A = this chain, B = another copy of it.
Amino acid sequence: MMEEEVDMAVNHPPNEAHIDDEMMKMEVNLDDISSEIIGYVMDVLLKAGANDVYYTPIYMKKNRPAVLLQLLCSASKLETMKTILFRETTTLGIRYYPLTVHRMARSFRRVSTKWGDVTVKEGIMDGGVVKSSPEYEECKQIAERHQIPLQQVYEEVRTQLNRSE
């Protein structure tokens, strides 16, 4: 799931469905860098505005179990991402190509639980809510504060969500 919307305000008017053809996929193969640094770079890229960053295990020549770093960003962020990748990783070459992203319409609502309110992100198709996803960070905080399993928090949010429909 792309999470470009994590910092969007709740009660925001629904985001319209739209097709974004100004996106770039960037790729770097990493075989001469420690995993500690690879783990660090992910956060740097996300903070600088990447829509998504993910790692895939790959196998390169000379029996090297390596890592493919991929990221998605708007074309306007291309140079920013390049600078980070060249500074923070060992790569000497960065690949990229444009792609299109179709984003579903989405809205946010607040659901009340016995432990407080939780934001739920909803996906909308043909005017109806077809999926709803409780906000991870809020559920996590509740789980930690109340010493209950995270699954139980999600379960409770979904129960209240169904009751309110």
| Interface residue ranges, A against B (CB under 8 Å) | 1-2, 23, 25, 27, 29-43, 46, 52-68, 72, 82, 86-104, 106, 121, 123, 125, 130-131, 133, 136, 140, 143, 149-151, 154-155, 158-159, 162
The residues of B that contact A39 with a CB separation of less than 8 Å are 62-65
A38-B63, A93-B101, A131-B151 given; name 18 further pairs at CB < 8 Å.
A2-B91, A23-B95, A31-B35, A35-B60, A35-B64, A37-B151, A40-B140, A41-B150, A54-B60, A54-B66, A56-B56, A57-B65, A86-B125, A87-B149, A90-B133, A92-B121, A96-B100, A130-B149
The answer to whether A58 and B56 have CB atoms under 8 Å apart is yes
Q: 9 closest pairs, A vs B, by CB?
A: A57-B57, A35-B64, A39-B63, A31-B35, A39-B64, A97-B99, A2-B93, A55-B59, A55-B65
With both beta carbons as reference points, the residue of chain B lying nearest to A53 in the complex is identified as B61
Contact of A59 among B36, B65, B88 (CB under 8 A): B65
- 26 A-B pairs with CB atoms under 8 Å apart are A1-B92, A1-B93, A29-B54, A32-B36, A34-B34, A35-B60, A36-B62, A37-B150, A39-B65, A43-B63, A54-B61, A55-B58, A57-B57, A86-B104, A86-B123, A86-B130, A87-B130, A90-B131, A93-B104, A96-B99, A130-B149, A131-B151, A155-B162, A158-B159, A159-B159, A162-B162
CB-defined contacts of A52 to chain B, threshold 8 Å: 29, 60
